[in-house]
Structure 1
């Protein structure tokens, strides 16, 4: 049996798990994962031109470490000049913004800047991560598929979430953490009709990266976990340090964003390159995503003074790179900062409590706690570290660190997610009223009344006769535009005033004309959700919108304000 694309679109307009959305999730997830793998390979190919090992900037001489970020920033600016500086917004905050204002559809030029700009930034030693570009590229790829197929906007949002999950899973080979990150940070809700396709896309992303890049994780050198109950007091001290440091990190990163936004992008990126070059000249291990910093932290004979200088350099590099507009993510650097903090705290605690033998376990705990406190994503941080280290034994100690660090950061230090703080600093919309949040999950196609009778230039007597003869059919009057330059027809929805018809003393035949109401219909594209219908009708709190397909004069159905009101009051669709 052949199912038409119109029928598929109607299925996808409902907030339900269906084979159609699952199939699209697999296709979108595969395309997103392949794009992210191409992005990863691009970075590695660039780094192979001058590095012995990926992210190992210690192999460069002092002068090369200084001028490499400057050269990288000039290339990023050239790419931005080609596409237009207005398309420089990228990363997770931008995706969150687009989810609210455009249902996750990402402009192509922003995606170009994200791919090439971030690849150059990551290859040039800037302290940024790969997950921000992975989120952006995955969202752009999957939402593009939904946009080309003209799917309802609620299903485009779901596909956007699927692309993000596939992108993160392909980047880190962590399918579970990718799903939780999407639900906890991106969508900020747990809905079964979103959860299932997101899981499928994440699985596809992980399978693709395993087949192309291998099955290993970045942190598999954590072979055993030696933490026991007697170490829990030390973990509490570490968690407090992580919570305070995360709050300070978020605060000053956002402060840099606020202060720098009034300046042009050219001096901002050059300043970021200069700071990175100077700090990279002095502390090479602080350059890059954080892999080198973690490797150094794992070295047992590193002095505390060097670890502290590495921590300060990494903090400053990350804050100025991201705050001044270098394209890239924040999760990789937060893991590096957390690892160094864990190493510093572990060394301090072993000096204060000589009997403690902590090994490298504090490094993992630092990664988990700092990431959770910065992103306000405790569950995603827990599962990310568990998957990356392949150690289920750290669940309990990691939960202790994550919960305390999150409480200290959020409750005592009044810290919020770095993504929402960045959006506030840039005045980008990322919230909608609760009513619109609820209605945007349902496409107008799913509930529209499509049993229409469209009359052209009908007289009142004809309208009344049709209304009396048809109880279920929706009568629409199509009045041709009076102005020959106006190409949009005027559609009106005809109905009787229900309150007056219930009056038994009225003579129906004599007064039907006075009871006739014609509501001017507002046009909405077939991809629209009920949230858009609600916004169009909320001022008049009556009437209806008409849904059109391709041509604005092609009315295929209507959604009434009464349908919206009934759903909001009763939770049911009529």
Structure 2
């Protein structure tokens, strides 16, 4: 037994010490990243709230600057960062992993997301937190010096899990994300290590900043299982919209690939002006991650169908530009908007429950990770008692989305990175 354990797990004290240090570093760095990014997006919203026309100046300039610098000087900070983690675990090439994940990449991600938020980009900061977490843990491998492939891949998955846990304060979702998106090919021994380290990261996060809900406590709301069938149309709607979103995003990203610097700048300017138009029309409401808007809708505020439409297309435009930015929270806000709009048709179910189910369904349809989608929403709202209806609606929306676009969006983007690096 001892020989088996030493073969399957790291057996040096310095390895576990480094893992603990990486956990602490991830909590501190990602918390700092979330705070400065939140400051940046609120600064833009406050500015645009008084003078919406400024968006037509600020947003295109920021888009051009970020797209140009990221493309030609630090290409692997683009997008949410989750495809980079998937590509790093799929690749057998050490040099490729070091291009995708490093302390330098983590620093670049923080800087570009801050600028993007300051420029009114409708991007999330939670997906990039996963990239930062993976980069920090993989960066610590220079001290740990793990050589076995499955342990290196486990290290990357632990980092991704840590990023989601710190971002959303959702430990179960963090582990499930590592399994669904990054660690599907990992051995059970690696999954045990990921589970243990996920718990440790969550403990450090609580000790550092307290145990708080990412959104709000909705534990008093419930749903009778006899009414679950009524959610089927909502699951279908979310599945269709999520599938179309993923398909359109991949189509536009591939369509805009060019090696001409003039075309790169032109595309960035045009997409920047499109996002600026949405910021102007919404007075900055579609800018940023969408967390504030989700809280408003959960509190009973109706933001209207125009918010859903503008957030949907603004997020699509931003992702198509390839600027660094996450997809989790913008998708959750779009899902909340969908739920808020259809809630009036559900007279027997509380509006808050409909919004929760819509967030689960739409997020599952977009990222195609139903278990992660269910638990991240339920943990953020303290509604784990809604697990059964949540699972049902997530898997239905996931299936509907798959009929529209077969390959999950993160896997498709990861394939693009592997093609660029030549695997």
Structure-2 residue corresponding to 1:98? 88
The DSSP-based 3-state class of the residue aligned with 1:254 is: helix
Kindly indicate which of the two structures has a greater share of residues assigned to helix: 2
Distance in 2, Cα, partners of 1:153 & 1:364: 41
Deviations 1:502-549 (A, max 9, x none): xxxxxxxxxxxxxxxxxxxxxxxxxxxxxxxxxxxxxxxxxxxxxxxx
Distance in 2, Cα, partners of 1:270 & 1:63: 16
Is the Cα–Cα contact under 8 Å of residues 181 and 377 in structure 1 kept in the other structure?
Answer: yes
Structure-1 residue corresponding to 2:117? 122
1:42 to 33, 36, 44: 36
Q: CA RMSD in A?
A: 3.0
Distance in 2, Cα, partners of 1:175 & 1:213: 15
Distance in 2, Cα, partners of 1:336 & 1:111: 25
Count of aligned pairs: 409
Structure-1 residue corresponding to 2:133? 138
Distance in 2, Cα, partners of 1:427 & 1:99: 11
Distance in 2, Cα, partners of 1:50 & 1:382: 31
Task: Return the structure number with greater relative CO, CA threshold 8 A, min gap 6.
Answer: 2
1:419 to 402, 406, 410: 410
Give the structure-1-normalised TM-score.
0.65
Kindly indicate which of the two structures has a greater share of residues assigned to strand: 1
Distance in 1, Cα, partners of 2:330 & 2:203: 26
TM-aligned CA deviation for residue 277 of structure 1: 0.9
Distance in 1, Cα, partners of 2:342 & 2:420: 38
Distance in 2, Cα, partners of 1:150 & 1:229: 51
> What residue ranges of structure 2 are gaps of 5+ in the alignment?
none
Deviations 1:484-519 (A, max 9, x none): xxxxxxxxxxxxxxxxxxxxxxxxxxxxxxxxxxxx
**Is structure 2 residue 150 aligned with structure 1 residue 160?**
no
**Is structure 2 residue 142 aligned with structure 1 residue 147?**
yes
Distance in 2, Cα, partners of 1:321 & 1:390: 31
**Is structure 2 residue 176 aligned with structure 1 residue 183?**
no
Structure-2 residue corresponding to 1:387? 379
TM-aligned CA deviation for residue 414 of structure 1: 4.4
Distance in 1, Cα, partners of 2:417 & 2:205: 34
1:220 to 210, 216, 219: 216
Choose 1 or 2 for highest CA Rg.
Answer: 1
1:325 to 312, 322, 329: 322
Deviations 1:144-178 (A, max 9, x none): 11134432142332222222211211111111110
Distance in 2, Cα, partners of 1:74 & 1:204: 40
Q: Which aligned pairs between 1:52-67 and structure 2 lie closer than 5 A?
A: 59-67=49-57
Is the Cα–Cα contact under 8 Å of residues 92 and 136 in structure 1 kept in the other structure?
Answer: yes
Is the Cα–Cα contact under 8 Å of residues 75 and 120 in structure 1 kept in the other structure?
Answer: no
Is the Cα–Cα contact under 8 Å of residues 111 and 140 in structure 1 kept in the other structure?
Answer: yes
Distance in 1, Cα, partners of 2:73 & 2:64: 15
Is the Cα–Cα contact under 8 Å of residues 297 and 307 in structure 1 kept in the other structure?
Answer: no
Give the structure-2-normalised TM-score.
0.86
TM-aligned CA deviation for residue 94 of structure 1: 1.8
Structure-2 residue corresponding to 1:516? none
Structure-2 residue corresponding to 1:428? 419
The DSSP-based 3-state class of the residue aligned with 1:428 is: helix
TM-aligned CA deviation for residue 259 of structure 1: 0.6
TM-aligned CA deviation for residue 206 of structure 1: 2.4
Distance in 2, Cα, partners of 1:376 & 1:224: 29
Distance in 2, Cα, partners of 1:364 & 1:288: 20
